[in-house]
Amino acid sequence: MERRKAVRKHIQLTEMQISRLRQLSDFDGIDPAEHAKRAIDTYLKSQQPAPPPDHDKIQAQVSGSTDDPNISGAFWVSGIVNQYEFSGLILRHTSKTAMERGRISKLSIWDPAVREATNNFIGSCIVNYDRGWDIRPSLSAEPIFLKVKSLIESYIAR
């Protein structure tokens, strides 16, 4: 079983929030950090993570491909998978730097709505491979990544 890295987020409290934590602490004698921890734990327990999409229900299609002018025999493939878009650079031959030493040299899957809202490509990516992993697929993004990867591999096989 693969171990996933725990991610810690740092939260910056406002002066008013700090003041309210101190007031609450003075009232009940519990450390302000303990109050903050309890509030965060309560919030996280109330969140319902979205279930990963069923692999069979993921809709994916290649919308086009264009030759890469800089690499002989390589081409770019793009498409749509559910609400995401993807783009990948496919090499003519297998490569050490390609995904799993295959032919997919670059692959990005992103949310176009997030990209539009933030004007940040990397910030909108759920997966990004550029001759190495920049953003690995999370548990919820993994079914989408696997669907795109199998779609591209079947497209290459044609």
Give the global pTM.
Answer: 0.65
- 158: Cβ–Cβ under 8 A, 6 or more apart, which residues? none
Rounded to an integer, what is the distance from CA 21 to the centroid of its chain?
34
pLDDT value for 80: 93
**pLDDT by residue (tens digit) across 23-39?**
888 888 888 888 778 87
Asked if pLDDT for residue 131 goes beyond 60, the answer is: yes
**What is the Cα–Cα distance from 70 to 73, expressed in whole angstroms?**
9
**pLDDT by residue (tens digit) across 106-125?**
999 999 999 998 899 988 99
- 40: Cβ–Cβ under 8 A, 6 or more apart, which residues? 11
> Cα dihedral sign for 45, 46, 47, 49?
positive
β-partners of residue 60 are 81
**Mean confidence (pLDDT) of the chain:** 84
Q: Is 67 exposed, middle or buried (0-12, 13-18, 19+ CB in 10 A)?
A: exposed
